[in-house]
Chain A
């Protein structure tokens, strides 16, 4: 992995963007392809070039260019790169203990791009991920959406918006996790009051900004925190809201309706109890799948059927790893257990891909195998929802970032001595391949 990264880094230094665009196409021929937004192709070809999907279809229909690298994928299954809407990989940390609401804090500034959690996520077929600060605050900071390229720095892997800014949402939480001694909230009522007050401050700030328009002399003093919340009020930054108990879920919906922000409900252990209300609010759910209920009071009624129930009620459902709560290497298992509990197979696969992409506003770039979208995909040894299936390869933007046949990658995939060590990259940037 290290040496491949080094060589890629060197390559990047030498090649121009134009040269990259002309890179060789890769054709995966003979695979069972599950595009997610289109019917399964039993014996198909996936053609990618320049980091994008160029074409896919039955083997007979897709012409493979003469210069393409042809990869025999017979017997393999290819699915879109998995999208995890809630993870804590990259050794992320957000707000500190000084207060309950810290919107100025960015996950971006904490992420270690060399954290082995990223390699493990690649080993699980995850290509896009929303990395969030924790749930010990009412608002623990700005989240960051990552594309799991092989990168050295967080900038290498961060997803950028059209305007060049780093893509991400904001993390909020209610229920017991952020309940602490002052200045934190001690009760649910206090928690909601603190958040409402903060959102009103943001509304006031927005009014002043709107009034000042292009005249900087009239603008209010800058506030990094309020500016982030103004983005929330303007719908540019999605609220990712940790919430478990049914009444806490309803409280989030109440706040969401009052202030009109865009919101995704996360975990929703008791979401099955209020599925119709969630559906009526048109708020998507990012559901955690755990091996048993309990472990905390709010999760006593956790059910494996939550995904199925919410889906049937008309809610957009995704799953997440919450890594390290569940292991990114086994993300497919979350979908499989949902199928076990009655969710339609197609919906479960969507819940690991395009549904999560929608929650991150990335549905035009990732989440399905569609020509024009990023060439993010996973090569599997078999059915996505079988315990016997292995992730063989993970590709991000047309580049292989994980290969089970590579002993170093295999170590991340299975575990073993050294599997949790960060990548030794210290010497790479001075033109020396020492360092390891």
Chain B
């Protein structure tokens, strides 16, 4: 057991959370997070400060004030003379970003009344907002936070042709209003087997799925034109949402695995001039040139995703292959229907690194590249002055199995004391 290197002053810690050097059995239910500590000022010291904006800084420090990063640099410069509480860790990185999850919607209990990631009464429901479904206090949100994950792109999941909206949210676990970063991030689409309707309902085939999606986009195009001409046209929530997709404001997040389904997704995107992000993309390695030509980003399936069904040709090397091909990508925990109910994107990145993805590329994919993909790079993804004070603190190489996350800071709120 490596003793946590975290040293923290009692004053700087949320009540009731003290460092525990030896793991003790604890229920999965975490303590309710402390209230936002606005106005707090503190310093985070790191033996190695990985800012993701320039070279790592040995003996670096971050000065946090009012939830934002006020200073970053060598400890001698940043912390000199600052009479403020100090957190300390071996390695500190920007708070990690999970580029796609369904956490908060696909609840930990996995019973019908906590599974809100897909609604199957109709195949196309872009009007369903993640905002109205996210359960911030689900234990799994806190579980992710315990591994340094400060921001999650979550929402409606795979399993319907157009299952609904996604959003970007911080992992405080307070309320969706307090924690949301991007209320409407993407619109979730599934092609291939996952889009099939239940009990013989449409869509029943791949071609039908694509036909219905095209038809929907076409109708939305007509709706937008009609509303522009005649503002009295009755408001249609679904069409309003898809109108944002057509306007290029919101991308489609297309969950798709087989190579020919990926091509179908690219075909539709080109026809309607919409932005797409490929999700999963198990066979992306077969259609690299086409993906590059389309210029879309990929959020590859978790490295440890089960290799059944449409993922039977999945590979733990997918992230490495995308990196080698210079396809923009970020990493995800994905959606899980059973146990484990969520994966941990840090661990998925670790396995990808073990399978050849360079560690610095993996760290970028978990921070700045994910932030860019999600359109939140102005606020997070690096440790730079003025950005949100989102930090992940480790007692060693973040990707190593036996390294602990010894603390997480989100918007200047400290979640420390229970190393995982």
A interface residues, Cβ below 8 angstroms from B:
272-273, 290-297, 299-306, 308-309, 324-325, 327, 329-330, 333, 336-337, 339-342, 385-390, 414-420
Contacts and interface: CB of A to CB of B under 8 A. Distances in A.
B200 interface: no
Interface of B is mostly: loop
Contact of A294 (B24, B339, B355): B339
Given A329-B316, A387-B353, 15 more contacts: A290-B340, A291-B304, A291-B342, A291-B344, A291-B347, A294-B108, A294-B339, A294-B340, A300-B29, A305-B23, A324-B308, A340-B404, A417-B313, A419-B315, A420-B308
A133 B347 CA distance: 29
Contacts of A420: 307-308, 312-313
10 contacts: A292-B140, A293-B340, A294-B139, A295-B341, A297-B111, A306-B25, A389-B354, A417-B283, A417-B285, A417-B286
Q: Lowest 8 A-B CB distances belong to which pairs?
A: A294-B108, A295-B339, A415-B315, A336-B401, A293-B28, A295-B341, A420-B312, A272-B25
A324 B311 CA distance: 13
A327 B355 CA distance: 15
B351 interface: yes
A417 to B, nearest CB: 5
A342 B402 CA distance: 9
Interface string B318-361: 00000000000000000010111111100100110111000000
Contact of A414 (B28, B286, B317, B353): B317
Given A296-B339, A300-B28, A387 B1 contact: no
A295 B353 contact: no
Contact of A290 (B109, B140, B339): B339
Nearest to B1: A342
Contacts of A415: 307, 313-317
Contacts of B314: 415, 419
Contacts of A304: 23, 420
- The winner among B283, B313, B403, B420 for most chain A CB atoms within 10 A is B313
B109 A342 contact: no
Given A416-B285, A420-B307, A301 B340 contact: no
A342 B339 CA distance: 23
Contacts of B340: 290-295
Contact of A387 (B25, B109, B351): B351
A273 B28 CA distance: 12
Contacts of A330: 304, 351
Contacts of B354: 387-390
Contact of B313 (A293, A336, A390, A418): A418
B23 A300 contact: no
A419 B286 CA distance: 14
A386 B420 CA distance: 17
